[in-house]
Amino acid sequence: MELFFKHRLGLAIKRNTRHFYRWEYFWLALVVIAALAVHLAMVVVPRDIILDEVHYINDARFITEHHYSDRPEHPPLAKLLIVAGIKMFGDNPWGWRILPIVFSTVTLILFYILCRRLNMSRTAASIAVFLLAFENLNFLMSSLAMLDVYFVTLMMAAFLLYAYQRYIWTGVAIGLSGLAKLFGALSGPAIFFHWVFSKKGRSRWFMLTVIFAIVIFFGLMPLLDYTIHPVLSHNLNPISRVDNMLSLSGSLTYQNVDHPNKSHPWEWLYTYKPFPFYIMPHWTAAISFSIWALIIPIFIYMIIRAGKKDNAALFGVSWFAGTYLIWIPAALITQRVTYIYYFYPAVGALCLGLGIALAQLIDVFRSRPRGKLKWFSFSAVVIVLVAHTVSFLILSPLIPVDFAKLVGLSQ
């Protein structure tokens, strides 16, 4: 009788395990849990403020104490979120970084749902979210008390809402992304490019996106600014605020900014120059080798797939064009200085494209009983995924190796 119950229990466990493995969000759950665990393990490493955190954490303190922002070149939403984190969890690494971690976790979930909505297979979407979660630049920027993670999460929300053709809410998300940081407005061109080149499902209701993005951005800015400094109500004109922000930002040109890590956007494609944020334990602003080496091949692959009516690939091309390629003419025209971490919003587009490519190789492996192509496909997938993991371990703070010094980029 005891053997009978053990047998039944074993069958039940096996059946439930198989059922859980087949659950749509099984791999997403594993990736999110793993990424969240690594993030939480690194919250207080280092305990010091890192690079541009000094601007935004000090500004949050300034807002709390004086009800005035010392960083007028940026819109108010992300600054208020940093203030909220400090108020909830204290003026310490947890208060600075816990909300960025929460937002980055939400980004991964939204990204997976977006991939599936774009008709990517479960395998392709799972690979894509793994690549994004453990891509070094994404991990770095989503771990720090800076403005970027907030606008990228809202940008991802805008992409997903657009994929569901919720045009009003897409506009709301774009507006909020721009209110977190002006770069968040780049979600607009990315979505617009897809809408223009997508022949299926294109609707004139899309104009609601444009209208609501403008209304939310200009309508909420005075309210959020008033939350920061209510005594300066005469200075809350959103038009003059945007003009002032663009003027302050535009003054940072290659000619008048003396920074060792400034670079032109086109250099990011062929020059690998990590930007050390903090050395020991190191935080290195660098695109993972596994993604950086494949930027051009992935982009070409997505263009080819887009030409074959692959909607996900077309969205990837549009996303990459709107968040990265647009920087090239912008830098040429305005001479506005740029840094490698400006590539952060475009990383997801490359992870999406590489996810599609690796899933296609897995399909080749599964469909062929034998032969060189079968094992070439398998080997290529393994090499890319292992290279991606190794890239993350080398570049991320998990292993405190001073990569920049190792390759001779710092003294």
Look-up: residue for tokens 């890590």? Answer: 261
288-328 per-position pLDDT tens digit:
999 999 999 999 999 999 999 999 999 999 999 999 999 99
Provide the domain limits for residue 356.
23-238+275-406
- The CA distances from residue 221 to 71, 173, 217, in Å, are 15, 14, 6
Question: Using CA atoms, how far apart are residues 274 and 263, in angstroms rounded to an integer?
Answer: 11
Residue 257 domain-assigned (yes or no): no
Residues forming beta bridges with residue 263, ordered by sequence position: 338
Question: Using CA atoms, how far apart are residues 364 and 319, in angstroms rounded to an integer?
Answer: 27
Residue 37 domain-assigned (yes or no): yes
Question: Using CA atoms, how far apart are residues 236 and 90, in angstroms rounded to an integer?
Answer: 29
Residue 4 domain-assigned (yes or no): no
Q: How many CA atoms lie within 13 A of 325 on its CB side?
A: 15
Residue 214 domain-assigned (yes or no): yes
pLDDT score, position 255: 86
Cβ contact 100:142 at 8 Å: yes
pLDDT score, position 66: 85
Question: Using CA atoms, how far apart are residues 356 and 360, in angstroms rounded to an integer?
Answer: 6
DSSP 336: B
Question: Using CA atoms, how far apart are residues 240 and 275, in angstroms rounded to an integer?
Answer: 34
Q: Which of 401, 341, 293, 279 is nearest to 140 (CA)?
A: 341
Contacts 24+ apart (CB under 8 A), 32-37: 32/105, 32/108, 32/109, 32/133, 34/133, 35/104, 35/105, 35/108, 35/133, 35/134, 35/139, 36/101, 36/105
Angle between helices 148-163 and 187-197 in degrees, nearest 10: 20
What's the token pair of residue 123?
């395998």
Q: How many CA atoms lie within 13 A of 20 on its CB side?
A: 8
Sign, CA dihedral 52-55-61-67, equals negative
C-alpha R_g of the chain: 23
Look-up: residue for tokens 């609707």? Answer: 203
Cβ contact 181:78 at 8 Å: yes
220-271 per-position pLDDT tens digit:
999 998 888 876 655 678 888 888 888 888 888 888 888 888 889 999 998 8
Q: What angle do CA 389, 136, 104 make, to 5 degrees?
A: 110
Residue 250 domain-assigned (yes or no): no
- The CA distances from residue 33 to 27, 89, 134, in Å, are 10, 22, 12
Q: Is 343 exposed, middle or buried (0-12, 13-18, 19+ CB in 10 A)?
A: buried
Cβ contact 364:380 at 8 Å: no
pLDDT score, position 400: 66
Rounded to the nearest angstrom, the gap between the alpha carbon of residue 172 and the centroid of all alpha carbons in its chain is 19
3-state secondary structure (DSSP) of residue 26: helix
How far the first Cα of the chain sits from its last, in Å, is: 72
Look-up: residue for tokens 């970084």? Answer: 97
Residue 45 domain-assigned (yes or no): yes
Question: Into how many domains does the chain fold?
Answer: 1
Residue 318 domain-assigned (yes or no): yes
pLDDT score, position 51: 80
> Cβ–Cβ contacts within 10 Å for residue 222, how many?
16
Look-up: residue for tokens 């793994």? Answer: 130
pTM to 2 decimals? Answer: 0.90
Low pLDDT (below 70) residues in the chain: 1-21, 200-201, 231-235, 278-281, 400-411
Residue 247 domain-assigned (yes or no): no
